[in-house]
Structure 1
């Protein structure tokens, strides 16, 4: 089966910033992404989990995008405008997709 190169971008961000991030991605021309709840983790501030949080707004979200390499810089610029002043991690990896026309 033929595969095609692409870039997978994972953005971990505070739940309250999810809408601002996805709006920025859409404005930048990103045609698809997936938002996932993050159950817990560990970072500079130590370990954390969603257990015991009072509000639905608390916690973190993972926003996953797969784009062609030529769209990567535009996506990263849009993401950085949101992430630069908030808790967040952006990771870019190479990946292969089966249906290149979808990206």
Structure 2
């Protein structure tokens, strides 16, 4: 099967910023993403867990999208404008896709 180069972008951000981030992705020409709950982790401030939190307004989500390499810079500019003043992590990895026309 023919594989095509793509970029996988994963952004962890506070749940309350999710809508702003997905709007920024749309404006950058990203046609799709997946949103996953972040249940806990460990970082500079030590370990944390979503356990015991009440409501959707607290916690973190991970927004994952796959784009063609030519869309990456615009995506990162738009996403970073949302993420930079907030708690957040942006990672970019190389990947391959079967149906390049979808990205």
Q: So what's the TM-score if we normalise by structure 1? A: 0.97
Within a 5 Å distance, the mapping from 1:49-64 to structure 2 comes to: 49-64=49-64
Deviates more, 1:46-55 or 1:69-78: 46-55
Within a 5 Å distance, the mapping from 1:1-103 to structure 2 comes to: 1-103=1-103
**Equivalent residue of 1:29, what SS?**
coil
Number of aligned residue pairs: 103
Deviations 1:41-76 (A, max 9, x none): 111111111100022211100000100100000000
Structure 2: runs of 5 or more not aligned: none
Where does structure 1 differ by over 4 angstroms across 4 or more consecutive aligned residues? Answer: none
Structure 1: runs of 5 or more not aligned: none
